[in-house]
Structure 1
Amino acid sequence: MRYELMLPHQIRAAIAAQTPVILPLGVLEYHGEHMAVGMDTLAVTRIFDRLEQEVDLVLLPPFPFGAASLAVAGPQSGTVHVDADRFQPFAEALFTGLLRTGFRNIHAVVHHQTENFAAGMPTDLAFRFAARQALFRFLEAERGEGWWGDNDMADYYAQHDNGTDPFNWISVHPLMDARITASYPFDHAGIGETSLMMALAPEAVDAARLDDNTTWYTETARDASAELGETGVQLILDRWRALLA
């Protein structure tokens, strides 16, 4: 369900059912001459477009204005970079708003720069920190100071072990985990991402443009195919079916 199209009674039902809420995160970044600048955002939104057909989800409008960085190409390429400290307050306010509405099963999903997700990159780190800040402030406002030390929280570590403690109300994830990238190429505008777009958003790829400005990171894109992309799509869908089950 698209959140902006939901009626109030549907929102109440989704909250009562603990329906997963998905926030797609992305950037607008140069991906060679052959691919749309919204690739990182489209990878997330198009995956959940598919998953929505089989799993109950609440899909929030995507946030595509992350910290793209200018490491790949300058702004004249179409990259739109926003410093993370500019949107972190927005992220905290957004998460706080979702918590106040009643959602407790929120998942922000990012594809940009996630090859070292454990260490983090500006976009995901900003949203991860914002999620923690929102949770701490919301819990203190709702339960009062000292809420964690109260005897009512004596089972906190048991909640933590089974994933039901309050700090799991908001999670930030990479679209693809290490298991997927071990069997599907993870790259920037190369065979992996180009194939993924051919499968998910073919209108975002023009292979004839590959000769316009070939760079080291796009060289393998010549071997991209929708068939390979579909292999990646199925791996990603399998992961998210299990994660949201």
Structure 2
Amino acid sequence: MLILCKETYTMELNMSFPKEVKYVQENRIPVVLCGGTVEYHGPHCSYGCDTLVAEGLIKKLAEKKEIMIAPTIYYSPSSYAVADETSGTVHIEEDVFEAYLFQIFTSMLYAGHRNVYVVIHHQFEQENLKPMTLSYMKASQRAIMRYLENTQGKGWWGSENYASYYDNLDGSDDPFSWIKVIPTMSTEVQNATGYDHAGKYECSILMSLYPDAVKLERLGDIKHWFTESAAEASKEIGDEMVAKSLEYLEKKIV
């Protein structure tokens, strides 16, 4: 939460004004956006599952530490790995999506943002990099590189201004850390709790965050191997997953 002029503001970019944005930038407060999907998750789990998990965690994180929440990016390379085009999944081709992200990140850089986090739940098993995550990573690094060339000229990195580059890797002075792409759940958190697609664990964390987004009574409507374990889902399991995820995110987003 941000307090200005004795008024309390919700730290959401789309509800903010230049004064709030300036405050965020001057104080290097993290700007966090969720990378979402619209993807089939069986008959019992909502299409927005991956998006809702990321959004729900970030909203809870905002209650624990000062961040600014940027608008979610919903449509993305969901892929048709789980189900085909008739399933309701919305898939955006990676090249098209990356070009779109490049424009978003470029605009954010010119606006002065230097501490941006993209949080993703979709296809991030064991922190392995799948097409959607790679699109975010590639677009962000391309945008940073292009921005630096446009604002500091070609040869910017080789200039004396960056003589201390290797001393500042991963620090706030490293321009390539201005935009980071991270999972909702680290490998350690996944190993400690569990991770799946529309099964016991994903349904549990979604039940904890958005109970109305899971309808276990519909589980038998359509049978899939990956949804069978959802019968064991519970809010209690989800609460533990949320707690461990928040503990990780609170340390990761700085």
The TM-score by the shorter chain falls in which range? Answer: over 0.9
TM-score using structure 1 length: 0.97
2:111 maps to 101
Trace 1:1-245 onto structure 2 (pairs within 5 A): 1-115=11-125, 117-118=127-128, 120-160=129-169, 162=171, 164-245=173-254
Structure 1 residue matching 2:195: 3-state secondary structure: coil
2:7 maps to none
Tell me how far apart the structure 2 counterparts of residues 161 and 86 of structure 1 sit (CA, whole Å): 29
1:225 Cα deviation from its structure 2 partner: 0.3
- In structure 2, the CA distance between the partners of 1:163 and 1:101, relative to structure 1 (3 Å rule), is closer
Structure 1 residue matching 2:192: 3-state secondary structure: coil
Tell me how far apart the structure 2 counterparts of residues 102 and 69 of structure 1 sit (CA, whole Å): 33
Tell me how far apart the structure 2 counterparts of residues 116 and 51 of structure 1 sit (CA, whole Å): 22
Tell me how far apart the structure 1 counterparts of residues 247 and 126 of structure 2 sit (CA, whole Å): 21
Tell me how far apart the structure 2 counterparts of residues 163 and 52 of structure 1 sit (CA, whole Å): 21
1:162 Cα deviation from its structure 2 partner: 4.0
Tell me how far apart the structure 2 counterparts of residues 54 and 113 of structure 1 sit (CA, whole Å): 26
1:164 Cα deviation from its structure 2 partner: 3.5
Residue by residue over 1:55-80, the C-alpha shift from the partner in whole angstroms, topping out at 9 and shown as x without a partner, is 11111111111111111112222111
Tell me how far apart the structure 2 counterparts of residues 10 and 224 of structure 1 sit (CA, whole Å): 40
Structure 1 residue matching 2:127: 3-state secondary structure: coil
2:3 maps to none
CA RMSD of aligned residues (A): 1.1
Tell me how far apart the structure 2 counterparts of residues 45 and 164 of structure 1 sit (CA, whole Å): 28
Give the letter aligned to residue 206 of structure 1. K
2:6 maps to none
Residue by residue over 1:136-181, the C-alpha shift from the partner in whole angstroms, topping out at 9 and shown as x without a partner, is 0101111111111111211101100546411000111111111011
Structure 1 residue matching 2:125: 3-state secondary structure: coil
1:50 Cα deviation from its structure 2 partner: 0.7
1:116 Cα deviation from its structure 2 partner: 5.0
Uncovered stretches (5+) of structure 2, i.e. residues with no partner? 1-10
Give the letter aligned to residue 72 of structure 2. P
Q: Which runs of structure 1 show a deviation greater than 6 angstroms over 4 or more consecutive aligned residues?
A: none
Give the letter aligned to residue 72 of structure 1. V
Residue by residue over 1:49-103, the C-alpha shift from the partner in whole angstroms, topping out at 9 and shown as x without a partner, is 1111121111111111111111111222211111111111110110011011111
- In structure 2, the CA distance between the partners of 1:239 and 1:164, relative to structure 1 (3 Å rule), is farther
Give the letter aligned to residue 245 of structure 2. I
Equivalent pair of 2:199/2:227 in contact (CA under 8 Å): yes
Structure 1 residue matching 2:138: 3-state secondary structure: helix
- In structure 2, the CA distance between the partners of 1:84 and 1:127, relative to structure 1 (3 Å rule), is same
Tell me how far apart the structure 2 counterparts of residues 113 and 240 of structure 1 sit (CA, whole Å): 18
Equivalent pair of 2:172/2:178 in contact (CA under 8 Å): no
Structure 2 residue matching 1:182: 3-state secondary structure: helix
